[in-house]
């Protein structure tokens, strides 16, 4: 059932005497936009930010609606109106000077399509399916691990799981989720993997991994490119203003105790603990991809963490061809960081990826429409994917290769 914002408020169980407080929260949220950033002004802004977030959570309770997605930039603007300013900065910005964040988008322009014409392709018969680690999926777009979905919607990752399942997408759940992995697993009717930041407490890491296995997750994604918190300059200037929601899989504080001395032996440790395949996420060098596979990784995820970890690293699409060439098909390749259109997806597939993963676009959909918004983003990606494959002159994404996408300036 689709529930509008008006309906959600009408059925809100808040007692009449509390409605005045809610109105005050709205006023506080409105005032946040103009709060001064002096020392005292910053403190007032942080209070208003929290009030604005609480107000929005009340108003958006139960939102689950399909939305019209024309492009992700417009959707981001819609989502921005739902967030408090500090939360928006936390979600949308990258680390440092944000060079890598911008480069992830710009670098797609280094590649151009070279369509095959007159191939007799029937749009309705285009095959976008892909098989990853034995799981057949209707399309190659998966949900990348992204923490704290509760910042975007009251139901958090549960709503994301429901939206992903509607589209048939593979769901990757972050260990830094605001809902427990067990709750998310129960809400998901589709395929799901669990992402892990290894903890300095090895016993805690093993416990979380075993829980993921027992909850029904079919693979473990080991993130290796974010071994410390990354924050943008603007977010730090604002004083870390986003609301801090409890983590669903850790006690307070333990989720941030990242293990920094990672090694390839950790891949084998995870395999032994869980008996599940391991995807190594955060690879940007060909030799690291080869080493990961030798260490037992079942798949590779080419990623620079969406520009959120180390600024100054190359765009994921720029390093993808070399990683694909180094692996020579020995393991599936997933690529994330910067994908916002179906044209981006086709370029990634043609340059060696088997699938792509998206994060921020889905969070914007979650903020605007809940589970329906997540599904709507996936439908947008699928529409553009099919249209781009059609114009490329093939009837299956499996037939895309480097002849369909050239580096700009190639003669």
Among residues 400, 226, 190, which one has the least CA distance to residue 301?
226
Q: Known binding site for glyoxylate: residues?
A: 197, 305, 308
* Phi/psi-derived region of residue 331, left when phi > 0, alpha when psi is between -120 and 50, beta in every other case: beta
Question: To which residue do tokens 């005032």 refer?
Answer: 31
Which residues are tagged catalytic?
305
DSSP 155: T
Which residues contact residue 304 at a Cβ distance below 8 angstroms, ignoring those fewer than 6 apart? 100, 104, 225, 282, 284, 310, 313, 314, 315, 316, 337
DSSP 409: T
Residues 107, 405 contacting (CB under 8 angstroms): no
Q: Which residues of 269-302 are buried (b: 16+ CB within 10 A; e: fewer)?
A: bbbebbebbbbbbbbbebebbbebbebbbbbbbb
Residue 401, both tokens: 């290769």
Q: Known binding site for FMN: residues?
A: 145-147, 174, 195, 223, 281, 303, 336-340, 359-360
Residues 37, 45 contacting (CB under 8 angstroms): yes
- Kindly report the length of the chain: 411
Question: To which residue do tokens 């990757």 refer?
Answer: 172
Q: How much of the chain is in helix, strand and coil states, percent to nearest 5? A: 50, 15, 40
Residues 91, 363 contacting (CB under 8 angstroms): yes
Please provide the DSSP assignment of 11-33 as one string: T----HHHHHHHHHHHHHHHHHT
Compute the distance between CA of residue 400 and CA of residue 190 in angstroms, rounded to an integer.
Answer: 26
């Amino acid at each position: 059932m689709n529930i509008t914002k008006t309906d959600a408020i009408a059925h809100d169980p808040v007692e009449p005497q509390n409605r005045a407080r809610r109105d005050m929260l709205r006023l506080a949220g409105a005032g946040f936009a103009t709060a001064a950033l002096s020392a005292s002004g910053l403190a007032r802004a942080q209070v208003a930010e929290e009030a604005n977030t609480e107000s929005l959570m009340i108003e958006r309770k139960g939102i689950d609606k399909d939305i019209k997605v024309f492009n992700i930039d417009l959707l981001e603007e819609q989502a921005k109106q739902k967030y408090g300013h500090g939360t928006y900065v936390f979600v949308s910005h990258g680390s440092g000077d944000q060079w890598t964040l911008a480069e992830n988008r710009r670098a797609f322009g280094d590649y151009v399509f070279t369509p095959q014409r007159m191939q007799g392709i029937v749009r309705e018969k285009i095959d976008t399916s892909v098989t990853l680690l034995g799981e057949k999926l209707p399309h190659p777009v998966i949900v990348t691990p992204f923490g704290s979905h509760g910042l975007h919607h009251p139901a958090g990752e549960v709503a994301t799981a429901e939206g992903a399942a509607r589209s048939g997408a593979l769901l990757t759940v972050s260990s830094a989720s605001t809902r427990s992995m067990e709750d998310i697993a129960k809400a998901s009717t589709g395929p799901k993997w669990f992402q892990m930041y290894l903890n300095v407490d090895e016993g805690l890491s093993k416990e979380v991994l075993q829980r993921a296995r027992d909850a029904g997750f079919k693979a473990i994604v080991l993130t290796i490119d974010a071994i410390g918190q990354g924050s943008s300059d603007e977010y730090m200037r604002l004083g870390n203003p986003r609301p801090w929601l409890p983590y669903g899989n850790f006690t307070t504080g333990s989720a941030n105790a990242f293990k920094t001395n990672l090694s390839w032996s950790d891949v084998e440790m995870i395999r032994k603990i869980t008996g599940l395949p391991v995807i190594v996420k955060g690879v940007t060098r060909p030799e690291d991809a080869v080493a990961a596979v030798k260490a037992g990784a079942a798949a590779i995820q080419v990623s620079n963490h969406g520009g959120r970890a180390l600024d100054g690293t190359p765009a994921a699409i720029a390093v993808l061809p070399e990683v694909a060439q180094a692996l020579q098909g020995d393991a599936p390749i997933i690529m994330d960081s910067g994908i916002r259109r179906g044209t981006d997806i086709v370029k990634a597939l043609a340059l060696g990826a088997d699938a792509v993963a998206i994060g921020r676009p889905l969070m914007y959909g979650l903020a605007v429409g809940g589970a329906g918004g997540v599904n709507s983003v996936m439908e947008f990606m699928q529409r553009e994917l099919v249209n781009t494959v059609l114009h490329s002159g093939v009837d299956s994404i499996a037939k895309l290769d480097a002849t369909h996408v050239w580096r700009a300036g190639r003669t």
